[in-house]
Amino acid sequence: MDLRSKTALVTGSTDGLGRVVALRLAKAGTNVLTHGRNAERGGALLAELRAAGDGKNVFYKADFSSLAEVRRLAADVQRDHPRLDVLVNNAGIGSGPEIKRRAESADGFELRFAVNYLSGFLLSYLLLPTLLKSAPARIVNVSSIGQEAIDFDDVMLERDYDGGRAYRQSKLAQVLFTIDLAQELAGKNVTVNSLHPSTFMNTSMVRQMGREPMSTVDQGADAVMTLVASDALANETGLFFNVQQESRADPQAYDAEARKKLRALSKRLTALA
């Protein structure tokens, strides 16, 4: 994909992987729509983007622990931009030794499931009309190789909560959604793929988890940009990549019944049903 003059939304782009991807897009001449929870950091990012390229760059403030704010973000993007060529669902929160207690989103859902998965699910569907009008377009879901099967009897982990499990479950949910949406959009020239960008990149999220970085943010950004722009992937959809290698996710991702259950639950929780 020639990224010049294209429009791309990168969620969670004021830090870490999202920030580097946004800068890469700006350097390629893309109009970059950025997102984060902190307006001051958003302003600083815009200054960097304007120095890096000549695209029209915008920052949108929204907290993904609130579905109302996700809806507002989608409405603002659709109001301001007649086209959207790329959506990178990158926003998320990790888990670490400090995550001992179960937390809930503003809507009463388990926090990691809400922020890492439900927000991107809702945003993608709300922006789908614009993506379809802009086709060919691409959706990239930033997931993880750390995955755990969803327990549909306790999706919100109200019993025996564990932050690591919550994170892994939310990341697998992204992959189920990727495959499901790719099938729904078959033949409509909008591809949907997911990836594990790199293992323990040198980001604030990884440091907060108490982990020693094993890879760089630039390596992760390389992987994301491949899914965003590679000509070789122009017609590839519904795939999961481990960095830049097509890979297999947890077996539950390929269970059509599990995907059906997750789709129905997600539409009900986001009021899309």
Q: Hey, which residues are catalytic here? A: 167
pLDDT at 12: 96
Predicted pLDDT at 208: 60
**Contact status, residue 136 vs residue 236, Cβ threshold 8 Å:** no
Question: For 36-66, how does the pLDDT look when each residue is reduced to its tens digit (9 = 90+)?
Answer: 999 999 999 999 999 998 889 999 999 999 9
Give me the domains of the chain, ranges plus CATH numbers: 7-269 (3.40.50.720)
Residues lower than pLDDT 50 in the chain: 98
CA dihedral for 70, 254, 152, 273, sign (positive or negative)? positive
**pTM of the full structure:** 0.95
Q: What is the pLDDT of residues 181-229, one digit of tens each?
A: 999 999 999 999 999 997 766 666 655 666 666 678 899 999 999 999 9
How much is the pLDDT for 83? Answer: 97
Integer Cα distance of 64 and 12 in angstroms:
9
- 33 - beta bridge partners? 9, 58
Query: Quick check: 195 and 175 in contact, CB under 8 A?
Result: no
